[in-house]
Structure 1
Amino acid sequence: MKKFNVRDNLTAYSFLTPALILMGLFLILPAVMAIYYAFTDYYLLTPDEKTFVGLENFIQLFKDPVFIQSMKNIGIFVLCVIPIQVGAALGLALLINKNRKGNIFFKVAYFAPVVLSLVVISVLWLYLLNPSEGLINILLAKVGIEPQPFLTSPDQALYTIVFVSAWQGAGYQMLIFLAGLQNIPSSVYEASKIDGANKWQNFIHITLPLLKPTTLLIMITTFIAAFKLIIQPMVMTQGGPMNSTMTPVYYIYQSGFSDRLIGYASAMTVVFGIVIGIVTLIQSKLSGEED
């Protein structure tokens, strides 16, 4: 029996080995190297001259106004994009859940932005939101609204990126919500109809409670994706104006590859990773308590 157990274990580990090797090379090893480099003055062009500097990078980091601003920006982005994107996805799923003519067309139309590259989406909206010649401002002028600066305004740029990101990602969450809606037994709605419940009562007391696991999954995935924001500000605003759309991931990229300050960028990576870990643990704990 022991021989069979050993043989079974070896077979199982042999199947796991490729995945473990990839995880070690692309997840564990980079994380360990980032922690090590965070305590050095590693400069990309002189890799052999790096020295141990202790907590100097972290002390400088917490005095860096750009990094502090980027953390504020990503906090605002996450708090805004999650309810907008999840709400839009649920609304679209409710619209196409009924058997109507043209549903296939609308499913494809709503999902189309998801399959497009984020770079393409960003460039498209960059032209649409042009302050002087953009289609959006032309339409606003038709209804008597003055042209808006959108991406060139420190007060509007981040919220414009929130809108673009929610528009681009809502189609994917819509399909997940649609699957959740179609898994709700029709007999539950029929019973509520017999009891005299209206559509709003059905939505509040049946649809939303039964969609809770689906909603939780969507919120977690949207939360993770929101913290990785980089493409939209990189293409549309380059982190401006006045760092109003700078994000931690984009600032890490700039520091590490544009300024070549690998040690400083690694320190930012460590701090940002710790923040994400803490927020994720809090979110998981709250979700567990709700369940």
Structure 2
Amino acid sequence: MKRINLKENLVAYSFMSPALILLGTFLLLPALMAVYYAFTDYYLLTPQDKKFIGLENFVQLFNDPVFLQSLKNIFIFVICVIPIQVGAALGLALLINKNRRGNLFFKVAYFSPVVLSLVVISVLWLYLLNPSDGMINAILEKVGIEPQPFLTSPDQAMYTIVFVSAWQGAGYQMLIFLAGLQNIPSSVYEASKIDGANNWQNFLHITLPLLKPTSILIMITTLIAAFKLIIQPMVMTQGGPMNSTMTPVYYIYQTGFSDRLIGYASAMTVVFGILIGIVTIIQSRISKEDE
């Protein structure tokens, strides 16, 4: 029996080996190298001269105003984009859940931003939000509102990126919510109708509780995607104005590939990875307590 089990395990591991090799090569190994480089002064153009410097990178990091500002920016982005994007996705799913004419058209229309490149989306909104001749300000002027600076204002730039990101990503969560809504038995709504419940009571006491597993999945995936924000600020604002849209991932990219300070960028990666891990653990525990 032991020989049979060993043979079966070898066969199983042989099927898993391509994925494990790729995982180790492109995920585990770079992560370990980043931890090692975080304690060195590794400069990309002179890798042979790197030396161990202990915690100097981390001391410099926590005195770096740009990095601290990027952490503040990403937490503002996460706190704002999750309720907006998830709320919009649920609202769209409720709209197209009922049998109406043209539902297929609206499904495609709502989902189409998801399949477009983030670079294309960012460039499109960059033109729409142009302070001088953008279409959004032209519409605002028509209704008597003064033109807004949007991406050129330190106070508005991050919230503008929040709106663009929520608009782009809501279609994907909409489809997941739609699948969850269609899995709710119609007999539950029929029974509540007999008991005299209205639409709001059905939504509050039936739809939301039965969508909780789907909502938890969407919250976790949206949280992970939000922390990886880089394309929108890179294309639309280059981290400005006044670092108001600088994010940790973008700052790591700039430090590692533009400034070529691999050791310092690795230290940022380690600290930011730990912060994401802590937030993920907290969210997982809250989700388990809710269940």
TM-score by length of 1: 1.00
State the match for 2:259 in structure 1.
Answer: 259
Matched residue type, 1:245? T
State the match for 2:222 in structure 1.
Answer: 222
CA drift of 1:3 comes to 1.6
Matched residue type, 1:151? L
How far apart, CA to CA, are the structure 2 residues paired with 1:247 and 1:239?
A: 7
CA drift of 1:5 comes to 1.2
Deviation digits for residues 115-144 of structure 1 (CA, Å, limit 9, x no counterpart): 000000000000000001000000000000
State the match for 1:11 in structure 2.
Answer: 11
CA drift of 1:9 comes to 1.0
State the match for 1:246 in structure 2.
Answer: 246
CA drift of 1:4 comes to 1.1
State the match for 2:65 in structure 1.
Answer: 65
State the match for 1:169 in structure 2.
Answer: 169
How far apart, CA to CA, are the structure 2 residues paired with 1:101 and 1:18?
A: 47
Percent same amino acid at aligned positions?
A: 85
State the match for 2:120 in structure 1.
Answer: 120
CA drift of 1:104 comes to 0.5
CA drift of 1:6 comes to 1.3
State the match for 2:107 in structure 1.
Answer: 107
CA drift of 1:16 comes to 1.2
State the match for 1:178 in structure 2.
Answer: 178
SS at structure 2 position matched to 1:146: coil
How far apart, CA to CA, are the structure 1 residues paired with 2:96 and 2:128?
A: 27
How far apart, CA to CA, are the structure 2 residues paired with 1:125 and 1:77?
A: 18
Aligned residues: 291
How far apart, CA to CA, are the structure 1 residues paired with 2:285 and 2:206?
A: 25
How far apart, CA to CA, are the structure 2 residues paired with 1:11 and 1:101?
A: 52
State the match for 2:190 in structure 1.
Answer: 190
How far apart, CA to CA, are the structure 2 residues paired with 1:273 and 1:96?
A: 38
Give structure 2 stretches of 5+ with no counterpart: none
State the match for 1:27 in structure 2.
Answer: 27
Q: Pairwise CA RMSD of aligned residues?
A: 0.4
SS at structure 1 position matched to 2:33: helix
Deviation digits for residues 15-71 of structure 1 (CA, Å, limit 9, x no counterpart): 111111111101110000000000000000000000110000000000000000000
How far apart, CA to CA, are the structure 1 residues paired with 2:176 and 2:277?
A: 25
CA drift of 1:13 comes to 1.0
Matched residue type, 1:264? Y
How far apart, CA to CA, are the structure 2 residues paired with 1:284 and 1:61?
A: 28
SS at structure 2 position matched to 1:40: coil
Deviation digits for residues 79-137 of structure 1 (CA, Å, limit 9, x no counterpart): 00000000000000000000000100000000000000000000000000000100000
CA drift of 1:283 comes to 0.6
1:270 paired with 2:274, answer: no
Give structure 1 stretches of 5+ with no counterpart: none
- Structure 1 runs of 4+ with >6 Å offset: none
SS at structure 1 position matched to 2:25: helix
TM-score by length of 2: 1.00
